[in-house]
Structure 1
Amino acid sequence: MTKFLLLIGLVWFVWWAWRKSCTARSTIRPPTEELEAERMVQCAHCGVNQPVSESILANDRYYCCVAHLREAQSDGT
């Protein structure tokens, strides 16, 4: 009877240790690279918003594409 209780206790301990290690692994998350939000600007021609890195800067104004830059330059001339 003592061997049986000891076996049950050992099985329970192994199960408990396994569960604890599984929950510990799931709560630890690898560090992710935190990205900052990029500043958005508005196209001076059509008004569409887009990130600064994707826009074209000319004459202190932002444009969404070369075609809108050309149209703005031709309208101003």
Structure 2
Amino acid sequence: MTDGVHISQLGLVTTTLKRVEAQLPPAYFLRLHRRYVVNRQFIEQAKLTFGKPMVHLVGGMHLPISHRRWMVLRSQFTLR
């Protein structure tokens, strides 16, 4: 497998996620983790699950949030 970024499991992009993120409007997209950027409109809930920060998305997918980004989220929103 080559280095790259999977986008919605439709293909492989030969660029870094950081470059993809830089092209996305920050008002709509959020970097959760070194592996994930998500559309904010699809976030249903963000909470600690078994002591680990997780985001629950529309459709049932659960993604981890880095601890550093969790602290940023907590400062921007009222989270439990």
What range describes the TM-score normalised by the shorter chain of this pair?
under 0.3
Q: What TM-score comes out, normalization by structure 2 length?
A: 0.24
Q: Which has the higher strand share?
A: 2
Q: What TM-score comes out, normalization by structure 1 length?
A: 0.25
Q: Which has the higher helix share?
A: 1
Structure with higher Rg: it is 1
